């Protein structure tokens, strides 16, 4: 059986959804599927690139813009590779904010000779294309063709599942398959060696924030640095390590703020890291601070990674909170993203050893069942039902 993943980004590009697609493709390939990845042409190149990995997965980097001009390229690759099932990994920003991909299931249904092809959509977000006539929240209406014409829709968090499962045309076709961490937990991490690498003393508390910094003004990194400053003024020896990719402009803003507060030596930026390096940093830190604009929706693999490593983690309570997260049991909520609230949450974990150990132990327990075996098994069930 031949399946094609359509994704705007794919490794070695830095992207959580690309990493998710790669891990799932590898699992399904071992299960007997023949897997093809269709993704964007690499930046600074004009021509398509085809490559085949050792595990038999074929990667086609052929789509330049993801607009209507590229529809024929997508269709040609589907037909040329004799694909039985297409799985669109949907996040609109990775498809150039264009409606072509949201209409792709409809286009495929229109072509009589492609009726045998099944289309699965994995929704990583509920946001549609940027159009002049659908501003703001109305962009979600552009998702209707995508989910209506798909044979099955996979959502990756409880919130989106509850929003969609009552739609009468979708009830029997929607499936909830939660995300899992893309970072494997390394065994026998030499914590002291990792900390010495950054000059962190044994009596210092190492705070960690994991994830890309792609918009410095909405991901609360600046508030976190100001919280570090407040903790230093109160006598807490804390250091902050920001693990993940960051562009040069945002990096300059972070370092400039830290320098103006006199805590430049307390803030460390790692840049993009391999999965093994990330696991070493997670296993060597004391507290994680994972604050997201949309709160605890559950679609953050970075949050699951910190919990899987047993890191006492601070999150922002905003909007819908999945049942997985229990305040003061496996996570500590702060109600606001201000430096004062963040500093207070960090200080509480520092001073309360019982709380710290409970968060460490129960965070591992909470995410223990979220693994790639589960994801591949449930995805395989969706595919098998469609391909009967």
Mean pLDDT by 10 residues, the chain (388 residues): 95 89 95 95 72 84 93 94 95 90 90 75 83 60 88 91 83 89 91 94 95 82 96 96 90 94 95 93 97 79 94 92 92 96 97 97 92 94 92
Superfamily per CATH, domain 191-367:
Glycogen Phosphorylase B; (3.40.50.2000)
Quick one: pLDDT at residue 344? 97
pTM: 0.89
The candidate with the shortest Cα–Cα distance to 284, out of 241, 253, 254, 330, is 241
Quick one: pLDDT at residue 318? 86
| Cα separation, 223 vs 338, whole angstroms | 6
| Cα separation, 134 vs 209, whole angstroms | 35
Q: Is beta strand 205-210 parallel, antiparallel or unpaired with respect to 238-243?
A: parallel
| Cα separation, 315 vs 321, whole angstroms | 11
Alpha helices in 121-236 (DSSP H): 143-149, 158-164, 191-197, 221-233
Quick one: pLDDT at residue 312? 97
Quick one: pLDDT at residue 285? 97
> In terms of CATH architecture, what is 2-180+371-386?
3-Layer(aba) Sandwich (3.40)
Point out which residues pair with 153 in neighbouring strands.
Answer: 121, 174
Quick one: pLDDT at residue 119? 95
| Residue ranges of domains in the chain | 2-180+371-386, 191-367
CA distances from 210 to 225, 263, 378 (A): 14, 20, 27
Backbone angles phi, psi at 135, to 5 degrees: -80, 160
Quick one: pLDDT at residue 34? 95
Quick one: pLDDT at residue 45? 61
Quick one: pLDDT at residue 56? 84
């Amino acid at each position: 059986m031949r399946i094609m993943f359509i994704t705007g980004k794919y490794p070695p590009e830095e992207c959580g959804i690309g990493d998710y697609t790669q891990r799932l493709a590898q699992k399904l390939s071992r299960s007997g599927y023949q897997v093809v990845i269709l993704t964007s042409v690499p930046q600074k190149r004009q021509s398509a690139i085809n490559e085949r990995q050792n595990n038999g997965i074929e990667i086609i980097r052929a789509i330049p813009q993801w607009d209507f001009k590229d529809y024929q390229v997508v269709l040609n690759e589907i037909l040329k590779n004799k694909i039985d099932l297409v799985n669109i990994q949907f996040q609109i920003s990775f498809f150039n904010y264009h409606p072509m991909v949201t209409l792709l299931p409809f286009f495929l249904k229109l072509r009589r000779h492609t009726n045998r092809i099944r289309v699965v959509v994995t929704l990583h977000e509920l946001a549609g294309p940027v159009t002049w006539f659908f501003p703001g929240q109305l962009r979600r209406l552009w998702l209707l063709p995508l989910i209506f014409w798909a044979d099955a829709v996979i959502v990756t968090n409880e919130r989106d599942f509850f929003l969609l499962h009552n739609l009468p045309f979708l009830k029997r076709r929607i499936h909830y398959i939660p995300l899992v961490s893309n970072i494997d937990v390394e065994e026998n991490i030499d914590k002291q060696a990792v900390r010495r690498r950054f000059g962190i003393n044994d009596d210092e508390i190492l705070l960690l924030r994991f994830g890309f910094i792609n918009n410095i003004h909405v991901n609360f990194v600046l508030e976190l640095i100001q919280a570090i400053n407040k903790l230093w003024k109160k006598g807490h020896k804390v250091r902050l390590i920001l693990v993940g990719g960051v562009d040069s402009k945002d990096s300059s803003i972070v370092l400039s703020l830290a320098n103006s507060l006199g805590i430049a030596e307390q803030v460390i930026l790692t840049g993009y890291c391999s999965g093994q390096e990330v696991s070493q940093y997670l296993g060597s830190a004391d507290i994680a601070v994972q604050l997201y604009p949309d709160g605890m929706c559950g679609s953050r693999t970075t949050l699951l990674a910190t919990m899987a490593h047993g890191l006492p983690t601070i999150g922002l309570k905003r909007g819908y909170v999945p049942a997985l997260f229990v305040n003061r049991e496996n996570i500590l909520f702060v109600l606001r993203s201000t430096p004062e609230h963040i500093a207070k949450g960090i200080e509480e974990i520092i001073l309360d050893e019982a709380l710290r150990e409970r968060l460490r132990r129960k965070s591992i327990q909470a995410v223990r069942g979220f693994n790639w075996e589960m994801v591949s098994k449930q995805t395989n069930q969706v595919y098998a039902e469609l391909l009967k």
